[in-house]
Amino acid sequence: MSVATCLLFSGATTAADSFWSTIQLHGFAAQSVIKTSDNRFFGDSPDTSFDSTEIGVNASVRLDPKVLVAGQVLARRAGDMYDGTPSLDYALTDIALIASPERILGIRLGRVKNPLGLYNETRDVPFTRPGIFLPQVIYYDKVRNIVLSSDGAAVYGSLYNDLGEFSVTLVGGWPVLDDNVQWTYLGGDFPGTLRPNGSVWTGSLWYATVTEQLRFGLSGALASLRYAPHQNDILGPGQTDIVYGIASLQYSARRFTLSAEYGLEPVRWRRYGPLLPRQKVTSEGYYLQGTYRIRSNLELMACYEEGVADSDDRDGSEFAGVTGGLVPAHAMFSKIATVGLRWDPTPNLMLRAQYQWNQGTLVLSQLENPDFPRQREYWTLLALQVAFRF
């Protein structure tokens, strides 16, 4: 064998070894048990629900110092809302156009996560959430898929200097819709088809101090949905326009983290017919949350959140009157106080407990609770979770 051949073979082997060394494979699994005093939450929770399961596997490989390919498959069971069928959570190619200590500029192509608030991009991994459930008045699980990700492209950039980090992300694409979206925005399971009316745009602006103790961000989304009725449908053809904005603030110290977010969502329904008495409303929600690390593997959490379906009808009485009492006033708002405990016996194992006091049923899925008269205004929730990662 010639010297040239030996050098060529050696170079090919080194390149192959370098390629395989960039492959990363991770996964997680979580199972929750939920008990509520009334109302269904992730299954038949008044009789104790085991219908909350999350299993995910993700992988990434670096094809080039500036090109990363990554994806995750997720199986999620959440009562009547999600049946555990595996789906593509995200799958993208990340291309860094500029990468230096002072600035980053890149693009992502494929199914990309939408940069909404503090937690939307990582909400599927139980270890990254502050509790078993995210604050529902901002991160509604009943419309999770429409805000989770988009099939399209993202442009992102960051600038680092003595003042800290400034970053921006813009995503354009098509949302992933399901039956939960129709139940939430149209109020029922109608025979027609709800589709995206053009692209959905999502963006975020963030600032973080040099030490990353303080983070402040503004994020938002613009979406439009088109409804095509079937024959003998009680709804006519219509359009729903959605604007969603979130202001986020987080402060982290050695032992505690304080987080607060405020969300505003103007929604407008056009046409549809006489079944939608309100043509335009603005939903509103906020939460205040604190976590305290007793030890490195033991953490306390407390959170208070409020949300209203219509900021001009905060107690829901006006809408209840319009519907003749068919929809109770408490279906139009939620007030929730939560306490929780997290214990990580090992780096790969997490145990959680969470208790909630609820007034109102805005955060409940109508798909799981279609009978308004059976909903109870005051109810409690106890949830336990075990999660594993590798």
Query: pLDDT (tens digit, 9 = 90+) per residue, 113-139?
Result: 999 999 999 999 999 999 999 999 999
* Full set of structural domains in the chain with CATH: 24-389 (2.40.160.10)
pLDDT at 305: 98
- Any bridge partners for residue 343, and if so which? 298, 351
Query: Would you place residue 151 in the very low, low, confident or very high pLDDT band (cuts 50, 70, 90)?
Result: very high
Cβ-contact 289, 302 below 8 angstroms: yes
Tell me the C-alpha distance between 27 and 56, whole Å.
5
The pLDDT > 70 percentage for the chain reads 94
pLDDT at 17: 58
pLDDT at 16: 52
pTM of the predicted model as reported, rounded to 2 decimal places:
0.90
Tell me the C-alpha distance between 300 and 125, whole Å.
19
Q: Which residue has the higher pLDDT, 221 or 373?
A: 221
pLDDT at 19: 63
Distance between the two ends of the chain, CA-based, in angstroms? 44
Query: pLDDT, tens digit, for every residue of 91-116?
Result: 999 999 999 999 999 999 999 999 99
Q: Following DSSP, what letter does each residue of 74-90 receive, concatenated? A: EEEEETTTEE---EEEE
Q: What is the mean pLDDT of residues 357-368?
A: 94
Query: Would you place residue 3 in the very low, low, confident or very high pLDDT band (cuts 50, 70, 90)?
Result: very low
